[in-house]
Structure 1
Amino acid sequence: MTHNGISRYSMEIATALLTGGIGLAICYGAWQVGTGWTPSGPDSGYFPFWIGVLVVAGSVVNLLRAIVGQRHKDEIFLDAARLKSLARFVLPILGFAVVSLLLGLYVGTTLYVLFAMRLQGHYTWWRSLASGVAISVCFYLLFELVFQVPLLKGPLEHAFGVY
């Protein structure tokens, strides 16, 4: 972290460590179910194990390239302005996820579209609400009725008899 923000160098190291950890987790999970070769073919963890090894190897290469080459040492990855822009994108999506888990996907979708259109697109309240409701109704018709795939419902949908 520099005085101006987070450097790209730091982020490359953090990303290499994160992906390396994911690769190790893949290898460990595959090892638990078996990575050997049996008379009938490979164990169920054989191919995932080698995929995990490739992820770890790629992560090590990226880590070494960042550290040894000291690439992008002074380049800023995230500063206050970029963080504000990122928050304007990420926070509504996180809110959508939380609301959808608590109140159902249709309510979450309606509220997400309503506030995204109103606060970011500066549309009128009635147009934003109408669009959110219309999209949720379309999702219901498409997923529940046409494809017969039930989506997450909450207390409001249950109150309206939508199961």
Structure 2
Amino acid sequence: MEVATALVTGGVGAAVIWGAAEHDIGWGDSGPGSGYFPFRIGILIILASLTNLVLALRRRGFANEVFVTNAQMRSVLAFGLPILGFVVLSLLLGLYVAAILYLSFVMIFQGGYRPLFAIGLAFAVAVAMRLIFPIWFKVPLLTGPIEALLGLY
């Protein structure tokens, strides 16, 4: 499984590099090109994947171990299912609404935070995302029908 994971993450790194190479990956007079950081992140992902691949191939003697226990799988699903929900909600409702719902849910049900605090912080994160990306950096984020109703795009 470690070999398979290293190969998959290496493929993700290659996809990031491929996508970044379609843009300017250099540094110009006005600063970094739009592909500058993603290109370097892709390189880091591939290097980390290669490291994991080499380590996995050196430890081949542990093939009889249990890959994942029921308790471990519950932990993975407790993390992974909300992330999957976040992705689906982002596509349906937009990134800001999905972020508010995801952060509120995770903070309340997994983190044990008070609902008012969790919802308030989730709204603050969404406002910060709105200020940082589309307004200050001029990088539009995925919006949905609620943002359109509010006139955000």
Q: Percent identity over the alignment?
A: 43
- Deviation digits for residues 31-59 of structure 1 (CA, Å, limit 9, x no counterpart): xxxxxxxxxxxxxxxxxxxxxxxxxxx7x
Moved over 4 A (4+): 12-16
Larger Rg: 1
Q: Tell me if 1:109 matches 2:83.
A: no
Aligned amino acid, residue 105 of structure 1 = L
Please report how far the alpha carbon of residue 112 of structure 1 lies from its aligned counterpart in structure 2 after TM superposition: 0.9
TM-score by length of structure 1 reads: 0.61
Whole-Å separation in 2 of the counterparts to 1:151 and 1:88: 26
Which of 141, 150, 155 pairs up with 2:145? 155
- Deviation digits for residues 18-76 of structure 1 (CA, Å, limit 9, x no counterpart): 55xx5xxx9xxxxxxxxxxxxxxxxxxxxxxxxxxxxxxx7xx97xx58xx85112222
3-state SS in 2 of match to 1:96: helix
Aligned amino acid, residue 144 of structure 1 = P
Let me know the Cα RMSD of the aligned residues: 3.3
**Equivalent runs, 1:134-149 vs 2, <5 Å:** 134-149=124-139
Which of 67, 73, 98 pairs up with 1:83? 73
**Equivalent runs, 1:39-54 vs 2, <5 Å:** none
Please report how far the alpha carbon of residue 12 of structure 1 lies from its aligned counterpart in structure 2 after TM superposition: 4.3
Instruction: Report which structure shows greater RCO (CA 8 Å, sep ≥6).
Output: 1
**Equivalent runs, 1:13-52 vs 2, <5 Å:** 14-15=4-5
**Equivalent runs, 1:47-62 vs 2, <5 Å:** none
Structure 1 regions of 5+ residues with no counterpart? 1-10, 27-57
